[in-house]
Amino acid sequence: MFKKIKGQSYYTNRHSCFLLQYHMVLVTKYRHPVLTGPVKALVYSIIRDIFKERGLVILEMNGEADHIHILFETDPFTAPGELVNVVKTKTARFARKYYADTLLKEYYWKPLFWSDSYFVCTVSENSLSNVREYIQAQ
């Protein structure tokens, strides 16, 4: 577990001090506009749960019907690629479980949800506000 000391922008644990901020973008398979209504609510809720379980901090999360942006802070032990895999796997599993025969049926006849690709980059303290504003404007 990690924590921020009041008045500091960095996190600490027993033996380290760090500030790791990432911007992640996930795109639906074939860019189908499925992130709307109850599917969007479910996917966003599951993402929040995953981040909470892992003790990660979501700074901003927003998107459009075919993609999602997540700005977050993490610890040095979380690999961004592994986190992407967990998020995509868990959200796809639940979205297909609840909506495969209804809301997703029009777009996916196979058990698909996310594109195989993703975007993730680090965010500096200088660019944090720009990235946050960009995500809010989605």
Look at the block and give the residue holding tokens 């969007």.
40
* CATH code that applies to domain 15-136: 3.30.70.1290
Q: Domain ranges in the chain?
A: 15-136
Under the banding of pLDDT at 50, 70 and 90, the label for residue 116 is very high
- pLDDT of the residue at 135: 95
Q: What is the mean pLDDT of the chain?
A: 93
- Residues 2-52 have pLDDT tens digits of 777 777 888 888 888 889 999 999 999 999 999 999 999 999 999 999 999
| CA dist list (Å): 88 to 5, 16, 29, 93 | 32, 30, 11, 8
pTM: 0.92
Under the banding of pLDDT at 50, 70 and 90, the label for residue 1 is low
How many residues belong to the chain? 138
User: Which contiguous run of DSSP H or E holds residue 36?
Assistant: none
